[in-house]
Structure formats: C-alpha cells, structure tokens
Amino acid sequence: MSIHRVETLELRRVSSAKTVRDSSTGSNDDDEHVEILPAGAGPMVRGAGLRRTASSIKVPAGSRASQEDDVTEPLQPAAVLPGRVDGGLNAWLAIISSFLIHFASFGVQYSFGVFQERYQVVDYPKASPSVLSLIGALGTSTMFVSGGLFVGHLAERLHFRTVILMGSLLIALGLVLASFATQVWQLLLTQGILFGLGCAMVYFPGAALPSQWWVKHQSFASGTAVAGAGAGPLVYTLVLSVVLPSLGTKWTLLAMAGITLALLLVATALVRTRIPVRRRSVRGSIWSSLSDAKFRYVFLGRLFIPFSYLVPFFYLPSYVASVTPHPPSFAALLLMLINVMSLVGRIVGGWLADRLGAVNMYTISVLFAGLSILVFWLPAGASQPLLILFTVTFGFFAGGYIALTPPMVGQLFGIASIPSMMGMVSIATGVGNLAGAPLAGALISAALKLHRGGNKWITPAHEFGGAIAFAGGMMVGGGLFMLYMRFAVLDRRFFVRY
C-alpha cells in the first residue's frame, strides 16, 4: 500500500476510519490511501496536495485545519474532486485554454515596445519616453493590482468561464477605444487601464486552471500553459513590426482587438473546472496574509522584481536605435529572441520544478535573470554577441519566473487559494510594473541632460546605463528576498525539494 500525504486544512472532517470515495471513479479500492498528517508537516504537505490520484482516503478522527490559515470553508483535496487528473481530455483542455489566454493577453502586453516606438516617432513625437512607457506599464500594473483588490477573490466566487468572458470583452473594448485616441491621456485610460483590467479577469483564473487538473506534473503543466505568454509576444511582435507601418496605428489596433477577442472566446469555451465555486474566498485580506512570513517575503520579492522585468521589453528598440549602428530589424530580432527563450524557459523551468521544487526553481530563475542584465546588457554597448547572449539568458530565466508563479503559490498556500493568493501577491507586482518602466525612462532622460551638459558616458550603454543598472539591481534584490524565505523561513537544508 502506497502512502501519500496531503495538507490537513484541505480535508472535510469525517469520523474515524470512514472512507471518502473518489467521485471520479466511484471506486472502493483499498490499494492506495492518503495519510492525513497534522498541519506543519514536511514541505510537500504544505504544497499542492496529492502527488497523484488516490482512489480513496481514510481520514483519522479529529483532523483539524491549521489555526494559521484563514479558511472560510472546508475543502476536499484536489485529487479527489470529480474528474481525472494528470491526463484525460479535461486536463489537456485546461492547458490549451490557459495557453490561449496567456498567448493573447501577454502577446498584446509584451509587444508594446513596438507601439511605443511608433508613438514616439510618428504619433506623439513631443511626448517623453517615460510618459509613453507609462501606457504599457499602466496596463500591466492595473492587471496585477486589480487582481489583488478583487479579481483573484472574484475568480473563486464565480465560475472561471464567467470571469474570463467578461475580461475578454474588456480587452477588446480597450483596444478598440485606443484606436480612436488622439492624445496620450486617452491611451492611458484605454490601452492602459481598461485593457489591464480585462487582462486581470482572464489571467488569474486562466493561470490557476491547469493546477486543478494536474497534480504530479503540476509545474510542467503550468509551464506549458504559461508558455503562451512567451509564444504570444513572439508572434504579436513579429506581426506588428510588419503591419503597423503599413496599416497605421488605428487599423492595427482594431485588427489586434478582433484577433485577440477571437482567441479568448475559444479559450473561454474550453474552460472546465474541478474545484467548486465557493460563497467566500479561501483566504482573508492582504493585511491578515501579511502575518504569514512566507507571504511577506514573497510579497517583498514581487515588489522588487517587476521594477526590472519590463525594462528590456520596453527599451531594447530604443537602445538599439540610440546606442548601436544596427537597423531596427536587429531590435526586432532581440525581442524575438527574448520571447523564444522565454517560451523555452517556461516549459523547461516547469519540468525542472517538478524535480527540484517550484520554490527552488523560481528563486534560481529570478536571480539569474537579474544577473544577466548586469553581466551581459550593461557592458554590451553595440556588441551584437553580448546583446544576443543577454536576450537568450534573460529570456530563458525570466520565462521560468513567470511560469512558476502559480505552482510556487500553490505549493506555499494550497491549490484552492491560487487565484486569491496570486492576486494579493500581484499587488506588489503592480506597483513595480507601474513605476519600473517610467523610472527607467526618467533615468534615461536625466542621463541625456547630464551628457548635454558636458558629462561623458560612464558605461558602454550610454544614456541607458543607469536604467539598466537599476533594473538588474532590483531583480537581484527580489531574488535575495526569495532566497531568504527559502532558507530562513522554509528549510535551511540545501538539497530539499521545495
């Protein structure tokens, strides 16, 4: 008889020796059971739940939820909810649906660098780089902040399909209205806030969906789904680079709205869930969650990391145009390489996380992504090999950071809590996304003023040197918070799968 362990706080209390039948099989087979342990047992107990489907569960009398968690309703473990896990039609549909959601929403977001260059050169040449970058930053930050304020909790109280459909319509509306904008502030409201709110409503349920259907290979499934956030920007960037100069801003935005809505409607139709809708969210407010040391350090890490994450996406085209003699096609190549390697990093990172632990692999990804900015981009200047090496390295590890957020949160706080906990953690992400790119733009502008005053460049990156150093330092700082949480809060042992 094989023994699997699961967190006690996710079990319905039953009498001694009572057997809970697996509703997906109806089996009474006694070959495989789950041992119910006290809360606070080893790291895998506090993780995503069962490692593979159990046909029945024997629950000892007196099992109680941990007093540390704000659980408003008892929950069944993920592996005994109706439906087959780790395979089957619904499990694969969950990956496809989540992939399409990431492909469409992040494809628009992370190709904004192409629009920013167009706005700077053609549509709004008098606007400052920091103001124009705020459009893209505002969309991303709105997505994350609204996720923490209400969307994450909403996704636990309404069916995923309902929330995703509402978000899909808001995304299309934001892009359509942006096509009629004549001033920058109108783009801030439409391509920024309205679009970002729609992204929140598709992203948080979409990111949590694969974890409901995959247990043993949860990180790999999540990484494969989130790979859409690498494939989407790759395709969108390549298409926009060709279409935007020929169609113009208005018709490009309208076409992008139609295509994006079509992809999201297909994703909505494929959504199937296993965890039932609850009257109230599993977790409490962000203030009560801050009393948990795990949440505090994840929150601090997520506060630092986004200050740097979007900088390469937003400023590489401008960097190539200003610092190097290379044509715009080289900038498009660099963005393409980031997105291709991000796609690879999401899948490979998920595969490695199932073996090394989601928290471990997440921390490694953040640290190496930050180091790649400082080691390769800062001294690159006009060097094509160094710039290519930077985009390959940064793309791979940054992809792992994005893909591993859902399984990392699920491992630390439980599968049922993924939408709300990701939402609350994402409030910190929204702050960094909102301020990071504009701060980088301000550093670039300040460096240009100093240079015009007679100061020499102190790095080969010219006016971008300060912004690049700032970005790399903030990401490494976020990785150090995660490193501290891993060894000081979770487990001091090095070779522990966490």
pTM above 0.75, yes or no: no
Closest among 193, 238, 480 to 364, alpha carbons compared: 480
Question: Largest Cα–Cα distance of the chain, in whole Å?
Answer: 81
To which residue do tokens 């793309």 refer?
A: 395
Task: Give strand ranges (E) for 154-277.
Answer: none
CA–centroid distance for 442 within its chain = 26
Q: Which residues contact 421 (CB under 8 A, 6 or more apart)?
A: 152, 283, 289, 295, 409, 412, 413
- Identity (one letter) of the amino acid at 247? L
Taking the CA atoms of residue 38, residue 42, residue 43 and residue 46 in that order, the dihedral angle to the nearest 10 degrees is: -10
CA–CA separation, 300 vs 321, rounded Å?
35
What is the Cα Rg of the chain in Å?
A: 23
CA–CA separation, 23 vs 136, rounded Å?
45
Task: Give strand ranges (E) for 104-240.
Answer: none
List the beta bridge partners of residue 19.
Answer: 58
Q: Which residues contact 106 (CB under 8 A, 6 or more apart)?
A: 228, 229, 232, 233
Q: Which residues contact 67 (CB under 8 A, 6 or more apart)?
A: none
CA–CA separation, 155 vs 420, rounded Å?
8
Structural contact between residues 122 and 285, judged by C-beta atoms closer than 8 angstroms:
no
Joined tokens for residue 337: 């390489």
CA–centroid distance for 256 within its chain = 22
CA–CA separation, 165 vs 307, rounded Å?
30
Strands 32-36 vs 2-6: parallel, antiparallel or unpaired: parallel
Joined tokens for residue 26: 């109806």
2's enclosing H/E stretch is strand 2-6
Q: How many CA atoms lie within 13 A of 458 on its CB side?
A: 9
Mean pLDDT per segment of 10 residues, for the chain of length 498 residues? 40 36 35 36 40 34 37 43 71 94 91 86 84 84 82 82 95 95 92 94 91 84 86 86 90 95 96 76 63 86 86 86 86 84 87 88 94 93 92 91 83 78 80 80 86 78 89 93 89 76
Closest among 480, 345, 469, 472 to 401, alpha carbons compared: 345
pLDDT at residue 36 in the model: 35
CA–CA separation, 194 vs 177, rounded Å?
9
Helices 195-213 & 228-270 angle (0-180, nearest 10) = 80
Domains of the chain: residue spans and CATH = 1-82 (no CATH), 89-490 (1.20.1250.20)
Distances (CA, A) of 350 to 261, 294, 411: 28, 21, 13
